[in-house]
Each structure stands twice: as structure tokens, then as C-alpha cells.
Structure 1
Amino acid sequence: MVLRIFGLSFAVTVVSIIIAALYGGPQAVLLVVILSILEISLSFDNAVINATVLRRMSEFWQKIFLTVGIVIAVFGMRLVFPLVIVWLASGLGPVLALDLALNPPADDAAYFPDGSPSYETLLTDAHPQIAAFGGMFLLMLFLGFILEEREITWLSWLEKPLARAGKLDQLAVIVAGGLLLLTASYIAPEDTVSTVMVAGVLGMITYIAVNGLGELFNTPEEDENGEVVEGSSGGPTELAKATGKAGFFLFLYLEVLDASFSFDGVIGAFAITSDPIIIALGLGFVGAMFVRSITVFLVRKGTLSDYVYLEHGAHWAIGALAVILLVSIGYHVNENVTGLVGVALIGAAFISSILRNRKAAAAGGSSDNDVDEPKPVTIS
């Protein structure tokens, strides 16, 4: 099963390395490997969250996400989106923007008579608004999870009080809006305050809109008597078979989520290389494909059902990433910190799940914190 799930990713890796070798020799190969590791480490929590949403979707929408969605992730977010940003920021046409990316001139005046910055600088300068949008979207996702009462809790001493506080209507919006205001007032550079505020609000609106539309068109689960199962309908983190319009909006939700995760990796990649072809090979073809395979593996193996704290750990990692993105608007945050925080939180949740399972097995039954989990979804 492992070979079947990861086989395509390994094949894409081999092809990408061959292309890198032909394109730039051994140095290009090394850079692709480094970028692939960077993307996988930064996006493991993304894979866990993808799996929690994907197991809600019908088989049709699962296949759409794993085919069309991965094309959008590879080409759209890792290659086309950065070029669009440079195109809009520089005023160059799309062809010149691509040429500037592939063949950066020794003298920027060749493209910018007024002495404007290069491709890499233009993309990096767009970081505040991108970080504000992605940070607020991810923060709303984290708050939506952590402020909701649930039978299974990981950090119970913290999660249970937060869930009780979450009974206050629109608390997530209040907290997110307050953090955005603090970010714009005390972290964002003075010349980016307005763009950070606008981008942050757009991030919140996008989450509320996509999440709300998913709830609107969601089909609740019914038991054998045709009665609606309590708690079976709701936002993207709850479990129900989503088809039709509900499936489409969950698909849209996953694409926005991937965008929020991926651009931070693209910005981090420029600390390693500014070559968009190398970045596309490392982050897109290899990294994104392995994130897809990890997502499929988690769903097929029922890992989230067996290790019930993984979902909690992933959401805490998302909360940490959201805060890091907001802080990075005004201060440089090393990409290693971003990756290690997520891996550490998910690793701690995984270990806690193992200890919980052993304790339950030793006791000969389920713990008080247990809840019935759905069976794994088969993805062909």
C-alpha cells in the first residue's frame, strides 16, 4: 500500500531530479532536494488538516482534489502566483515578468529605468499583505477549532476553558480582529499598515465565506432510521459526506488553505535560490506531491482515527504558523523555526496518542475521553 500511495511521488521526484540535472547540474539537484525537504517539513500540518477535510468529501470530490487540486497547487501557487505578484507589483507585462525571473539582469535598469528592485525583491516586498491574508485565514481556522466544544481534547487544561469561552458568540472574529489590529499598529512597517489591515480583513472574510457556504450546502449524516445525527453538519472540520455544492466549497476551502500554507514556503525558498524553475521543481513537483501522498496515506490508513490527537496537534501548529506569519510582517522569522514548531507540535500529539492508546488497551476499554470515530475512507 505504501508503494501504491507514494509511488507517483517517487516517480515525480526522479523526473524532477533529472530535469534539475539537465537544467543546472549537480548544484540544481542539491537545491531541489533542499527545497523539497523544506516544503514537506513546512506542510506536514497542512497534510493532516487536508486529511481531516478530505475524509468528509465524497469519492468524486476526493478525486477532484487529488487531481485538479494538485495541479493548482503545483503550477498555480508555486509558479504562476509568484509571477502574477511580480507582474502586478512591477507593472511589467507577464512575458517580461517571466523573463525577469528566468534571466535576472546584472543591472536592474535594463527593466527598470527608475532603479526599481528585481524579481526577488518585488516578491519579498509583497510578503506583508500575503502574510496578513494567510495569517488571518489560518488564525480563523485555528480559532474555529479550538473554541468549539468537543469530547476529545488533547491539552485539556487549556482546550476545555477555551471551548467554554467559545460559547461567546463570534469570539473567533473578536480575537482575530484584535490580533490584526495589534499587528497593524505595532508590528507592520508604517508604509504597509493599510495594506496589512485590508489583506487581513480579506483573509477573515474569505474564511467566513467559504466556511459558511460549506455549512449552507452541507448534507447532514442520517442514521439508519433517517434521523439527523447530532453534530454531523457544520464547518470543514466536522465529519459528513459532502457532495454537490458542499463538496465544491470544501474543495475551494482546501485550495485557499493550501495557498495560505504555500506562499510562506515560496518566500522561504528565496533564501535558498531565486530561480523559479528550481523553486517549482522543489516546492511544487516534489514537495507538493509528497504532501498529497501523505494526505492520502492518513485517510486510507485511518491514522486520524487511530491517533486522535493528531488533528489537535495540527490545529495548534496552524495557530502557531498564523502567529509566525503575523510576526513576520515586521520581523524576519527563520524558516527552520516555522518548520520545527509544526513538526514538534504534531510529533507531541502523535506521542500523546500512542500513550493514550496504550493506556486504554491496558485498562481493557475506552477512556472517558473517547468518542466513536468514522472508518477510514477509501481513495482510489
Structure 2
Amino acid sequence: MTQKLLAGSFQLMKSLNRSLILNTIRTEGPISRAEIAKLTKLTPPTVSNIVKELIDSDIVIESNQGESRGGRKPTMLVINGKNFFVIGIEVSPASIYSVITNLNAKIIDSVSIDIHHPITNESLLSFLSKSVKQLLDKNNWINREHILGIGVAMHGIVDIENGISIYAPGLKLRNIPIKEHLESEFNLTVKVDNDANSMALGEAWFGHGYDIGDFVCVNVGQGIGAGIIINGKLLHGNEFLSGEIGHMTIDIDGPKCSCGNYGCLEALAAGPYLAERAKKQLAMGEKSMLIHMTGHNLDKLTGELIYEAASQGDPFSINVLKETGKYLGIGLSNLIHTINPSCIIMGGGVTKSGHILLDSLKETIKQRGLTEQAKSTQVMLTKLGDQAAVIGAVCLVLVELFFTQSPQTSII
């Protein structure tokens, strides 16, 4: 197989008919050429010619023969998912987590690099390159020509058209040319989106969102964001601001948020603010086992410790989580009344607080919903768990491969 053929495999799939056929094989395979023609309404010769090109590129392979309907048994076609690979990267304020997967999003290997603060655009780009190089070096058995692209799930606001991180609040950086840098460095197609949108893509392709046309994926960690899918399409908004629910105002007299406003959902329910709220209450004389768990040093207090204390029955910690669940429930009620999704899928570190937080969240939605349907909107935890964002990053490339129209938004 020539390098030229493989290098062009990404572009090979980008024409309308090729993408249509490829996606039909992905969703319906094993499938015969005749059945592809029937489903796509393309002519049999067109299907045969395109399938031959896809087989020559090794992206599609012939499987076992199907059942005969009076003539020869048809040869079945499937995606050669195990022979091609995608690199996915999740960039959080604290670390860069990178994986290499096959086309079925099965993780082959991973690398994690801590981010040292303060950091510059140049040093972050250097860390990104380092993470990819480490993955490639650890997996040098993989043919580089079979790696189809790099997807990056970046926290904050992202210009998806140019692959630029417009604002990464956790890193205090702006205008980071991620796509340009990585494409120049590795000569691979690079797609960049924010972490909540990436999580939504991951859930749509491999999680609870599969076959659901309207849902919202909410990431609650060091910040709060949402990936919104409507009619099978990821909503980005006019200037890529869609889903920034962490900055909806919940309490106009609330604490100051990192964005400069007061009373944002993020300032009331994101991980760092949850711990900060507990610190202030403890400093004012509230009693809790957290005081002993931190060795009387409240600077060591984290959301994880609050959850641990709550799981041991500490009334103060239980109340903190219930209060956080109430704030999230208010925010999600606003989202339900605005978007009216079929379900809400929750991910991120704060959601690991378990039933105490989630029960409070659901009860708040039940109290505030305008209709019985709104009150009973299904809320569930992400199926992909801690891997949701990085698998979503992989899906940024998969979407580009399998779809031609609005590749960053069409997902189903």
C-alpha cells in the first residue's frame, strides 16, 4: 500500500457519495454492495466503484459472505476499524491526557503530562507536542500512515473553524493556535473543540446519547459547561459561546466568578468554588470532621475530601453537597426550559459526589419544572466516565471522516 494512497485516505472519504457509503457501512455493516445501493439510492456501479476505492485504501474490508436470495452469496463489507487509529487529547487546567484509539474508540494506550503554572501559549503547545510524541514513541509498532488525525478537547471557548483556543480560563491563556501548531508538527488533520462539546460527541457516538436526537451533556469539574445536541447536531452558536451555562446568573448577590460577574452557576457549584464555600463556612465556626481530615489546615480542603466526609455521614459535608445539587438543579431547570432536551447526561469530577448531590439536583428540577415532562427530564451520569472528554476528542476526527456536511456539527 503506497504512502500516497494512505495519506489521501482522509480526503478520499470527504466527497458526498463516499462519505454516504462509508457511514452506511459504519452504521449498518456487515452489509452488501446491493444493500448499500438500496439504502443510499445510489446506482450499483457508483457503489461498486467507490467501495473498490475504499477497499484499496484498506479503510473498508470484505467480511464473511451473506445469505443468498437465489443467486450467489453477497460479499459483506465492514469498516476496518482495528487497522486505523486516532489520537485524542484532553486539555484541563492541570494536565494533558492523550490517548490513541482505533476507529471503534478502543483505547490502545495513554499518556498524561502535568501542566506547570504559570504557563505560556508556547509552553502549552510544547506540552501538547510532547504528549503526542510520547504516545507515538510508546507505540512505534503502529504504522504512522494509519493514524488519521488528532482531536483536541480544550476547556474554555474554542474557535472550531480555525482550531484556536480563544480563551482558556483555567490556564489564563488566550488565542492558542492549537490546530496550526499540531498540523505543522505532525502532518496530521487536527480538530479542536471545547471539552463539553467533545463529551457530547463521545456520548452521541459511544455512550448514552447514541440514537438520541436531542440531549445535553453537562461537564461539572473545575468549571461548568454544556454540549448541546439538537436534531442530531452539535450547537456551537454564532461565536462559539453556546453551552457556557457556567456563566448563567443563579444568584445576583452570589460570590464573584472567574469571569468577573457575580453569582454565576460556576461560582456556586464548580469544584474549586464548592471547596471555597465550605472553607468560609468552616472558618466561621461550623463543625465538621473535615477540620480533622485537613489537619486543621483548611487550605488542604478539596471537593474530594468533602465527598469522602459526606460518605462517612458528616452532616456538614452532606449539606454542602445538597446545596451544590440545588444550585446545579436551578441551572439545569433553566436549561430544560430553554432547550427542552430528551435527557441530560452529567460528567466531570463534581458528579462523582454520588447520590447526595444528584438526588438534590433531581429534586430541584422536580420542584421547578413548568410541566410534568420538564419535572421528569431524565438525568444520568455519562456512560464513558472519566474518558468521556478524551473519547469525545477522538470523535471530533471520526465526525470529520464520516460526514461531509457541517462535519463538526452533524453527528448522527
Larger fraction in helix? 1
Task: State the structure with bigger RCO (CA 8 A, min sep 6), 1 or 2.
Answer: 1
| Structure label with greater radius of gyration | 2
TM-score bin, normalised by smaller chain? 0.3 to 0.5
TM-score (norm 2): 0.31
